[in-house]
Structure 1
Amino acid sequence: MGSACVLLAIFAAPVAAQPAAWRMPIETRTLDNGLTVVVSEDRSSPTVGVSVVYRVGMRLEPENRTGFAHLFEHLMFQGTPVAPKGTFDRVIQGGGGRLNGSTRPDYTNYIETAPVPALRPILWLEADRMKTLDFSPENLKNQQDVVKEEIRVNVQNQPYGLFFVFDINRLAFSKWANAHDGYGSFKDLEGATLADVESFHRDYYGPNNAVIGIAGDISPEEAFAMVEEYFGDIPARATPARPDVSEPLNTEGRREAQADALAQVPALAVGWKMPARGHADHAPMAVLSQLLAGGDASRLYQGLVKGREQLVNIDGGLGWPLGHAWDYDGPTLLTLFALYKPNVEPDAVLGAVNEEVARIAAEGVPAETLAAAKTKLLADYVNGLEPFISRADELAKAQLLWGNAEALNQVPGRVQAVTVADVQRVAKTYLTDANRTVIDRVPAAMASARGIAPPAAPAPAAAPAQD
């Protein structure tokens, strides 16, 4: 039985049985240059997962460089003076491995998985691009075009255009760091210079601003020695101070309406500001999020999609969709995204959501319902840790964001300790109209009847960028 299966069995066991606590093996070491390495040994497969996570993301990018963290994620795959463009993909994928990268509010991560013998070349490649990149006008122009085309395809020419991510943040948050569109603006992307790129790499991509996670068929001592061999001689670099991104809960509801030229049915995005990472209310809110919006068994799906038949569907959660309940390090939202039926008023949907929240706040939930929500929440959590590539990534992120990768082992206990009273308390504290942000997005044909300005025409697609 694999480690995840064992953990799921523990979660499902009766409380009275007092099963032994599950613990993922975690060993941590910090090199002299500040690079932290986190290793979890697992001999169940002759493979390994690697994640290099840098403390820079949408929330931490410089003002007037909107989307720069995202742009830089792309530039990291454009090669170095030693390993030209294409080397990274060819070495890892040619050996049967996989790789990816992503930009989130609080971090940028680069992940790989491959057979164990590929660990050395992976670490060599990651160290090489930590040192420097192939800074050239051609590479910068190419990736500026790629990111702009992503914005056209995923935002400007898509129904709903990620309004439930970037528009809801703009409206819900007050500080620029939290509110701006981290995907990027054309103006700021086009204004990026080679000097900007070089300084960004210098400032944010040093070893002292990174964590490496390694999970799989290797001992901690072997992994530490390899990382020391490839990364140990990279000097630490001065990193800008992290801005104060903290914000209180909102004290007055925020709302706007939008028209959408591509949508067929209206949609609502609803967001509430959440407790800080590690706060006493963090785990209870994760459980409440599961109760409200965690799949087809959730209160909102059963109550508004099945029961009242107001919605076509509903999705969302704590930290959704740019992360999950445990990987944020600044203000975040519990976000709901729902398509609702054209003959339903948005205020009726909001009223129904309030009814479901108020019912939990006033009555609580049955013990078996709470237990089922915890089990599902933890089952999803464990499933996310099963692939070595994901486990390495979660290890690195936990070390970076929580300051301790052992936080991963503490999540089950935090969740299991949540009581009905905890759930009631956080429902009353956070899911209020005063702390709520709402965006109503309707098809163009419905806009005039709702008194909403017509939508702008979708942006034309650009020709594919040339290498």
Structure 2
Amino acid sequence: MFITMILNNNLNSKNFNRSKKLYQIKFFEEKLSNGLHVILHQDKTNPLVSVSVLYHVGSKNEIPGKSGFAHFFEHLMFEGSKNVKKGEYFKYIASNGGKNNAYTNHDETCYYEILPSDRLPLALWLESERMLHAKVDEESINIQREVVKEEKKMRVENQPYVKAISEIIPSLLFKKHPYKYPIIGLYQDLDNATEADYREFYKTYYVPNNAILVVSGDFDMDEARKLIKKYFSSIPKGKRNFRMKKIEEEPMKKEIFYTYIDKNTKVPGVFLSYRVPKLTSKDSYVLKMIDHVFSSGESSRIMKNIVNTKQSASYAGSSLDTMEDYGIFMIYGLINPGVSLDELTKIIDDEIDLLKEKGVTKYELEKQKNYFEKKFISDNYSMSGITANLSYYSLYYHDADLINTDIEKYKNISPEDIKKVANKYLNKNNRVRLYNVPDNDHTNNK
């Protein structure tokens, strides 16, 4: 076992002013003998505790033919356990004045609760049951199989643009990496998965040495540590070595063009999607700022120039999906009447080229730095935000103390960084250009 006490008095940056010190997050870290990483942040301001268990497993851990497993377990692990009856996870939390939920993405699955502080033992017991005794049986699997298929039908199959964004574009951007598969999975994989398949996945990934437990809020430090050891220390360590060999994609050499006929939409749209670096890369921080320059608020470039001034698009914007191994930067627009998809593409490309050539103004850069500093402080304002950030920095950077210092990376971004990163990644030979068209309008491209 190793124990590290983080008091955050000796920060890497010596230039923190007095106001920043008010927001320093103190925390305690230790690892149990079974590999469970524990982070505790004590704050007695309100009589609440925020608890999360973050498993380092997402859709990228799935193999061909078995997509959707991580998302499936997000559902399945609410079915009950050896000592928790079917459907009682939510009842336990709600009847004790709390709330709980879970999420899955490409790289992680997280379960979390917010409860009155005297209910910390309940939250820890429920999470230990989930980790050790989750019901992975035929009945539970069949129930959740239908739930997930219905969710896919409602959120993907029957929504405009969603299938293009979540399935088609990733499958074109990535040829080898599992990021090519949708998080929710494919219908045939959901139908073909067996109880043995799910049991193997559970036994492999939902183990203490693949998890980070974070508790934030009003609790006694010694008591919390004893409770965590009581509920979690006896859970066996997983046998797998979780260091995955990185799957590297070949550089893209030319633009990939694709037309997707979407039965759910009446307005054609263009989606320009670029493969960009992993979330821990310095370039990823710069791309976040570029994303906001393009489409954060009415004064952003895309909204001001393309939507409001030129009125070429009824709606347009950008987004950055940051992931552990790669990222996806997307710029999109839905055409106005009388504008073709090719015309809108050219107008968007003109905005990209302007940024690559001229960069950003001093005002734009300062505005974005102020935005990210404000967001950095507000994200650490609530116990649930602190819990999420401690998990995030610990998982991806192996340094939870970045919760206090990561803002410096944004503050150090220069105008030259913006131009350099835009020229490096926002190129036609590094993208998928997808036209999403109604089934009666698929001639409105080239």
TM-score, normalised by the number of residues in structure 2: 0.91
1:121 aligns with 2:122: yes
Cα distance in structure 1, aligned partners of 2:444 and 2:274: 28
In structure 1, the residue matched to 2:281 is: 279
Aligned residue identity for 1:266: P
Cα distance in structure 2, aligned partners of 1:316 and 1:201: 36
Cα distance in structure 2, aligned partners of 1:106 and 1:295: 29
1:52–1:393 Cα contact (<8 Å) kept: no
2:280–2:324 Cα contact (<8 Å) kept: no
1:209–1:239 Cα contact (<8 Å) kept: no
1:136–1:194 Cα contact (<8 Å) kept: yes
1:209 aligns with 2:210: yes
In structure 2, the residue matched to 1:71 is: 72
Cα distance in structure 1, aligned partners of 2:71 and 2:95: 26
Cα distance in structure 2, aligned partners of 1:45 and 1:340: 49
Q: For this pair of structures, how many residues does the alignment match?
A: 430
1:446 aligns with 2:441: yes
2:29–2:38 Cα contact (<8 Å) kept: yes
In structure 2, the residue matched to 1:376 is: 371
2:277–2:325 Cα contact (<8 Å) kept: no
In structure 2, the residue matched to 1:364 is: 359
| Structure 1 portions without partners, runs of 5+ | 1-14, 320-324, 452-467
In structure 2, the residue matched to 1:47 is: 48
1:411: Cα distance to partner?
1.9
The DSSP-based 3-state class of the residue aligned with 2:93 is: helix
Among 416, 419, 440, the residue aligned to 1:421: 416
In structure 1, the residue matched to 2:224 is: 223
Cα distance in structure 2, aligned partners of 1:77 and 1:385: 28
In structure 2, the residue matched to 1:391 is: 386
Identical residues among aligned pairs (%): 27
Aligned residue identity for 1:253: E
1:339: Cα distance to partner?
2.1
1:219: Cα distance to partner?
4.9
Q: Which deviates the most, 283-292 or 118-127?
A: 283-292
Q: In the superposition, relative to structure 1, how do residues 254 and 351 fare at CA in structure 2: closer, same or farther (>3 Å)? A: same
1:448: Cα distance to partner?
4.5
In structure 2, the residue matched to 1:461 is: none
The DSSP-based 3-state class of the residue aligned with 1:365 is: coil
Q: For 1:106-149, what per-residue CA distance to the aligned partner results, in whole angstroms no more than 9, with x for missing partners?
A: 00111111111121101101001100222321111111111111
In structure 2, the residue matched to 1:194 is: 195
Q: Relative contact order (C-alpha < 8 Å, sep 6+): which is higher? A: 1
The DSSP-based 3-state class of the residue aligned with 2:83 is: coil
In structure 1, the residue matched to 2:4 is: none
1:174: Cα distance to partner?
1.7
Q: For 1:50-96, what per-residue CA distance to the aligned partner results, in whole angstroms no more than 9, with x for missing partners?
A: 11111110111122111111111111000012111122111111122
1:222: Cα distance to partner?
3.9
Cα distance in structure 2, aligned partners of 1:186 and 1:397: 31
Q: For 1:182-236, what per-residue CA distance to the aligned partner results, in whole angstroms no more than 9, with x for missing partners?
A: 2111111111111111111110000000001222223544433321221111110
Among 245, 248, 256, the residue aligned to 1:246: 248
Aligned residue identity for 1:261: K
Q: In the superposition, relative to structure 1, how do residues 255 and 223 fare at CA in structure 2: closer, same or farther (>3 Å)? A: farther
Aligned residue identity for 1:163: A
In structure 2, the residue matched to 1:316 is: 318
1:57 aligns with 2:58: yes
> Residues 85-96 of structure 1 correspond to what in structure 2 (within 5 A)?
85-96=86-97
1:250–1:435 Cα contact (<8 Å) kept: yes
In structure 1, the residue matched to 2:9 is: none
Q: Which deviates the most, 220-229 or 416-425?
A: 220-229
Q: In the superposition, relative to structure 1, how do residues 316 and 25 fare at CA in structure 2: closer, same or farther (>3 Å)? A: farther
TM-score, normalised by the number of residues in structure 1: 0.87
1:307 aligns with 2:320: no
Aligned CA-pair RMSD: 2.1
1:295: Cα distance to partner?
2.9
Q: In the superposition, relative to structure 1, how do residues 202 and 450 fare at CA in structure 2: closer, same or farther (>3 Å)? A: same
Aligned residue identity for 1:226: L
In structure 2, the residue matched to 1:257 is: 259
The DSSP-based 3-state class of the residue aligned with 2:429 is: coil
In structure 1, the residue matched to 2:7 is: none
Aligned residue identity for 1:239: R
> Residues 399-418 of structure 1 correspond to what in structure 2 (within 5 A)?
399-418=394-413
Q: In the superposition, relative to structure 1, how do residues 423 and 249 fare at CA in structure 2: closer, same or farther (>3 Å)? A: farther
The DSSP-based 3-state class of the residue aligned with 1:434 is: helix
Cα distance in structure 1, aligned partners of 2:100 and 2:256: 40
2:435–2:445 Cα contact (<8 Å) kept: no
Cα distance in structure 1, aligned partners of 2:374 and 2:424: 27
Cα distance in structure 2, aligned partners of 1:414 and 1:450: 41
In structure 1, the residue matched to 2:182 is: 181
Cα distance in structure 1, aligned partners of 2:298 and 2:376: 18
1:343: Cα distance to partner?
2.1
1:317: Cα distance to partner?
2.1
Q: In the superposition, relative to structure 1, how do residues 248 and 409 fare at CA in structure 2: closer, same or farther (>3 Å)? A: farther
Among 334, 354, 362, the residue aligned to 2:349: 354
Cα distance in structure 2, aligned partners of 1:338 and 1:17: 42
1:243: Cα distance to partner?
4.0
Cα distance in structure 2, aligned partners of 1:316 and 1:272: 11
> Residues 98-137 of structure 1 correspond to what in structure 2 (within 5 A)?
98-137=99-138
Q: Which deviates the most, 127-136 or 402-411?
A: 402-411
Q: For 1:126-185, what per-residue CA distance to the aligned partner results, in whole angstroms no more than 9, with x for missing partners?
A: 001100222321111111111111111111112223422222111111214121122111
Q: For 1:223-264, what per-residue CA distance to the aligned partner results, in whole angstroms no more than 9, with x for missing partners?
A: 333212211111101125424233354222112011111212
1:50–1:393 Cα contact (<8 Å) kept: no
Cα distance in structure 1, aligned partners of 2:346 and 2:270: 13
The DSSP-based 3-state class of the residue aligned with 2:441 is: helix
2:340–2:445 Cα contact (<8 Å) kept: no
Aligned residue identity for 2:288: A
The DSSP-based 3-state class of the residue aligned with 1:277 is: coil
Aligned residue identity for 1:250: M
In structure 2, the residue matched to 1:293 is: 295
Aligned residue identity for 1:61: E
1:39: Cα distance to partner?
2.1
Q: In the superposition, relative to structure 1, how do residues 128 and 18 fare at CA in structure 2: closer, same or farther (>3 Å)? A: closer
The DSSP-based 3-state class of the residue aligned with 1:29 is: strand
1:34–1:209 Cα contact (<8 Å) kept: yes
2:82–2:135 Cα contact (<8 Å) kept: yes
The DSSP-based 3-state class of the residue aligned with 1:211 is: strand
In structure 1, the residue matched to 2:149 is: 148
| Structure 2 portions without partners, runs of 5+ | 1-14
In structure 1, the residue matched to 2:8 is: none
